[in-house]
Structure 1
């Protein structure tokens, strides 16, 4: 088996796209004919001012196309924001949620195709066809299963869209729970289950385990496909030195009663041999002491530098994840 021939990556937005670029770079150097399929979180999706937004899909697309804004970490490079200013003048939309003009062009194209009857997977395919991104991006599902956060507001609880909680309040309101209404009845988007079944290796990106990876594996058919595939499933910890790389993930983990540690997230995902998701789990050098606890869960632990500071360190991390998967694949 060539561990890099057919690689499936489960990913959210910013962290997932950084890892995806590193994975693509590593495979370009070592196996230029490898196929990368990215199953993207669509729990962040939303309707706003009449258009459909897919933040994680677009972050992956823009990063792989090389047109993302690397300073802000989201959106398109060289953006203008005239349309958002005009929407604010009309009192439309969310004044705290700015859509760049180039980004809005993506949303308008997506919405137009959806209203013409195209499926979500087909729309994503058309968007990805604009640039040679070196990967296939698939939405996790074609159903609308937007993430709703129930927050504690004084003595009361109230629901809001994840984007409002994340962007407007910067996760400062205490979350009580996270829901994806309709996800229990959702199905994997076309191509997702087959990609996982045919994979040589499946990688869980170092994305937020609760609101990025969580919605993906909550789609019933995806969890089944992950358990049944012959490919090893290796995850990369989003925790470095006992802290989430993106701070608000700590709040998400606390809300569901999960420990914010490398071993805590491994326990949240669980061992595949015990009905969970993982065969192997890559932790940071700073968290090497957690390796025995991960092994005790029935998940093979590996240790590597996890900071993705540039393309080289991201490619090295991808190489380490694939090597960890390869080391254990012979026993399956």
Structure 2
């Protein structure tokens, strides 16, 4: 194991608000060197600008700029530009605040100049004072599509415009077959002491990362163990549509269903104490359950959970806990 006595290299596979919460907790620990491989399959174009919701939520969260009431967007935001677009007859169901638009303008200009998406994301994070490394799994374009009874929708159409109300019949990840992993993501996987899958939606936040050619193979080949944190507590999601999506697609929407999803990849699944009764069934899958209070309503809870995960990891490796 490569971790030093002082720092543990943690690579977090993450998307959505749950991923950002886990990242914030880990980033608050002095003994963690954090790299985050974020989801880019939610990305889309609005008003001629390229928007990367999950990467931006991660960046704003780790920069201390996030609107904590929403869990996304920038704090102390206004939508004056959007109000002008609305007055001019544009669809404005995708809420983009004025400060947020500044980031999208910057990203789009650099993309048009031919810069790598990974370099753009890293530059933004640095300018915003983020110490963790925010990495893209691919510089290629991958987009999640959702089939409903009304036909195929982009993820943002399903998630924002339709408010996750239509039943999900099928998911597709456009461009996934041709997508290639970034060298930064592969290096972060190879250099990790602990690979942690965040409590993110396994279908639309984690799967589009794992399905990029070479990512899951790198996780399996890494000397570091793969652990995961359940996004479900007592069969319910804290935020987002993961439970309803899993049910609609014929999967168990509880901690055991999460274990079934990651079985064969994750050695450990951190579940809530409310799901302790499922521990035996999870263990039968070859996944070790670890019961903790995994709800993260504030920074103290995020830091506590991150610390408990790192302490348990240290004990499994025979290293004194921090």
Q: TM-score w.r.t. structure 2 length?
A: 0.94
Aligned residue runs from structure 1 range 131-146, under 5 A: 131-146=128-143
Seen in structure 2, the aligned counterparts of structure 1 residues 119 and 75 have a Cα distance that, compared at 3 Å, is same
State the partner residue of 1:293: 281
112-121 or 131-140, larger mean C-alpha shift? 131-140
- Give the Å deviation of 1:311: 1.1
Picking from 19, 24, 49, the partner of 2:22 is 19
- Could you tell me whether the CA contact under 8 Å between 2:235 and 2:243 is conserved in 1? no
CA deviation vs aligned residue, 1:184-212 (integer Å, no higher than 9, x gap): 22111231011101100011110111110
1:100 matched to 2:88:
no
CA deviation vs aligned residue, 1:285-314 (integer Å, no higher than 9, x gap): 000111111111111110000110211111
Aligned residue runs from structure 1 range 318-329, under 5 A: 318-329=306-317
Picking from 177, 182, 190, the partner of 1:184 is 177
Seen in structure 2, the aligned counterparts of structure 1 residues 247 and 146 have a Cα distance that, compared at 3 Å, is closer
State the partner residue of 2:292: 304
- Could you tell me whether the CA contact under 8 Å between 1:43 and 1:146 is conserved in 2? yes
State the partner residue of 2:119: 122
State the partner residue of 1:236: 229
* Structure 2 counterpart SS, 1:220: coil
CA deviation vs aligned residue, 1:98-147 (integer Å, no higher than 9, x gap): 11000000000000000000011001011111122220001121111111
1:111 matched to 2:144:
no
- Give the Å deviation of 1:168: 1.2
Seen in structure 2, the aligned counterparts of structure 1 residues 185 and 328 have a Cα distance that, compared at 3 Å, is farther
- Could you tell me whether the CA contact under 8 Å between 1:235 and 1:321 is conserved in 2? no
- Give the Å deviation of 1:322: 2.4
Is there any run of 5+ residues in structure 2 with no aligned partner, and where? Answer: none
- Could you tell me whether the CA contact under 8 Å between 1:14 and 1:73 is conserved in 2? yes
State the partner residue of 1:80: 78
Equivalent pairs, count:
315
Distance 1:48 1:117 in 2: 19
Seen in structure 2, the aligned counterparts of structure 1 residues 321 and 184 have a Cα distance that, compared at 3 Å, is farther
- Could you tell me whether the CA contact under 8 Å between 1:233 and 1:325 is conserved in 2? no
- Give the Å deviation of 1:177: 0.8
- Could you tell me whether the CA contact under 8 Å between 1:121 and 1:190 is conserved in 2? no
CA deviation vs aligned residue, 1:11-52 (integer Å, no higher than 9, x gap): 112111111111111x22xx2xx4211000011100111110
Distance 1:329 1:222 in 2: 24
Q: TM-score w.r.t. structure 1 length?
A: 0.91
* Structure 2 counterpart SS, 1:180: strand
Picking from 219, 222, 230, the partner of 2:215 is 222
Is there any run of 5+ residues in structure 1 with no aligned partner, and where? Answer: 272-276
CA deviation vs aligned residue, 1:56-78 (integer Å, no higher than 9, x gap): 00000001101111112210011
